[in-house]
């Protein structure tokens, strides 16, 4: 907080300043266009500047020559300031080179793709990953907590979408208490809606429990049995828009965290596509037609409706 205003993504150097909270430099005043009012001991922010302040800041003031004399700077301090300025400029510097696509490369790739389509060729199966990768597990990036230094924090804070905030144990306890209250409210609402003769099955209607993977059971787990001598093939991803890819990423990340799906090392896969919902959202659908065509069909008589109940 500077003059009652929240400052974000602002690097600070920790030093012993005695009774002073912080020292603002010329680069900070130039960046935020703030003027110091020494007579009233306050800061004039850009939205507070009046026409009189702008005119007064541009008027020249006659000062004695003795005041205009600048003291000789300390060489050690100047070298340290120059070093820090170079580090900040190095962090802010954009990448020197970004590979770009050319018309010739696009034309060459399009011709090769068209030639494969005319000859009836299919994309080759991706190589099977090595065994050494089999022990890796997926850890969602949203749950990663790490200690970083000042330069790394400054770089991460400048990225688009980054959010800087403070958290304390008191706030965590308060949030947990709110979660417990929401859980109790959900249970009361479930008991109010569900008929009384279903009180023994209220856990079936729990939204929180529905987001948990049920345990494996012998006669409930299903297996896909393929026809003999047939191997599933690899299917490339359908062409999708940016909105559809973002929705697919959100779906995959959410279900990985819940444990409903897991990372696969199989050399075959089925493509996915997005269907528009009535409310405008997107529903993920998996195209299992090729898998169904090579799956061994179950053959048994379908029971009558009266026999089920």
* pLDDT digit string, tens, across residues 208-254: 778 888 888 887 788 888 888 888 877 788 888 889 999 999 999 98
Write the DSSP assignment of 212-224 as a string of letters: SPPPP-TTT----
How much is the pLDDT for 96? 53
Number of domains in the chain: 3
Rounded mean pLDDT of 26-34?
82
Same domain, 194 and 261: no
- Cβ neighbours around 282 below 10 Å, total: 19
Same domain, 49 and 141: yes
Q: Is residue 78 part of a domain?
A: no
Same domain, 150 and 267: no
The rounded mean pLDDT for the chain is: 77
Same domain, 202 and 233: no
* pLDDT digit string, tens, across residues 258-305: 888 888 887 788 889 999 999 888 999 999 888 888 888 877 777 777
- Cβ neighbours around 274 below 10 Å, total: 19
Same domain, 25 and 151: yes
Residue 166's pLDDT band (cuts 50, 70, 90): confident
Same domain, 57 and 201: no
Q: Is residue 40 part of a domain?
A: yes
Same domain, 205 and 260: no
Same domain, 227 and 307: yes
> Cα-flanking dihedrals φ and ψ of residue 180, to 5°?
-65, -40
Rounded mean pLDDT of 18-34?
82
Question: In percent, how much of the chain has pLDDT > 70?
Answer: 79
* CATH assignment of the domain containing 273: 3.10.10.10
Q: Is residue 71 part of a domain?
A: no
Q: Is residue 272 part of a domain?
A: yes
Residue 23's pLDDT band (cuts 50, 70, 90): confident
Write the DSSP assignment of 22-78 as a string of letters: ----HHHHHHHT-EEETTTTEEE-GGG--HHHHHHHHS-----HHHHPPPPPPHHHH
Q: Is residue 102 part of a domain?
A: no
Range(s) of the domain holding residue 173: 169-210
Residue 133's pLDDT band (cuts 50, 70, 90): very low
Nearest 5°: CA angle at 14, between 10 and 19? 105
Same domain, 197 and 242: no
Q: Is residue 86 part of a domain?
A: no
55-64, 102-111, 222-231, 242-251: segment of lowest average pLDDT: 55-64
Q: Is residue 174 part of a domain?
A: yes
Same domain, 277 and 231: yes
21-25, 39-43, 139-143: segment of lowest average pLDDT: 139-143
Same domain, 196 and 279: no
Q: Is residue 91 part of a domain?
A: no
Same domain, 142 and 288: no
């Amino acid at each position: 907080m500077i003059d009652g205003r929240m400052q974000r993504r602002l690097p600070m150097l920790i030093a012993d300043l005695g009774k002073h909270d912080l020292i603002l430099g010329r680069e900070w005043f130039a960046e935020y266009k703030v003027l110091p009012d020494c007579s009233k001991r306050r800061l004039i922010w850009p939205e507070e500047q009046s026409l009189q302040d702008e005119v007064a800041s541009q008027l020249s003031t006659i000062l004695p020559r003795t005041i205009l004399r600048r003291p000789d700077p300390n060489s050690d301090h100047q070298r340290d300031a120059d070093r820090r300025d170079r580090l900040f400029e190095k962090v802010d510097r954009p990448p020197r080179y970004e590979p770009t696509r050319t018309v010739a490369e696009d034309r060459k790739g399009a011709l090769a793709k068209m030639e494969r389509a005319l000859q009836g060729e299919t994309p080759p199966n991706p190589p099977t990953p090595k065994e050494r990768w089999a022990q890796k597990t997926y850890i969602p990036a949203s749950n990663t907590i790490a200690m970083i230094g000042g330069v790394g924090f400054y770089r991460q804070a400048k990225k688009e979408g980054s959010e800087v905030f403070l958290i304390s144990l008191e706030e965590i306890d308060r949030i947990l208490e709110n979660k417990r209250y929401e859980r109790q409210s959900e249970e009361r609402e479930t008991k109010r809606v569900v008929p009384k003769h279903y009180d023994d099955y209220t856990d079936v209607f729990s939204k929180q429990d529905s987001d948990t993977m049920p345990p494996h059971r012998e006669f409930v787990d299903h297996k896909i049995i393929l026809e003999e001598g047939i191997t599933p093939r690899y299917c490339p991803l359908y062409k999708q828009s940016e909105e559809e890819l973002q929705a697919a990423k959100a779906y995959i990340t959410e279900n990985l965290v819940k444990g409903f799906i897991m990372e696969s090392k199989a050399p075959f896969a089925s493509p996915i596509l997005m269907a528009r919902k009535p409310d405008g959202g997107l529903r993920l659908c998996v195209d299992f037609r090729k898998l169904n065509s090579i799956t061994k069909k179950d053959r048994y008589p379908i029971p009558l409706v009266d026999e089920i109940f």
